[in-house]
Amino acid sequence: MKEKLNNIINKMENKNYTVIEFNSKEFKLDNGDVYPHNFDLDQDITIKEFQNLLDLSKKTITELIKNINK
């Protein structure tokens, strides 16, 4: 199980997700994938700012996964 978690962590840390569009409910990546998001966007932000939110979320998720077995 620990090996699987480490594999997932490595894949997530090494994968770059590039946002090309977003709205109040979902975002689209450069590969065409569309995902819902849970960010409360009560103000207008740029794609770069949204990308930063996504990158920080990815970092948080990988840290949570790393701590599963602690």
Helices (H), 1-70: 2-14, 47-66
Dump pLDDT digits (tens) for 2-47.
Answer: 788 888 889 989 999 999 999 989 999 999 999 999 888 878 899 9
The structure tokens listed for 57 are 């979320």
Q: Using alpha carbons, list the distances in angstroms from residue 14 to 6, 8, 63.
A: 12, 10, 14
pLDDT, position 55: 95
pTM: 0.82
pLDDT at position 51 over 90: yes
pLDDT, position 19: 97
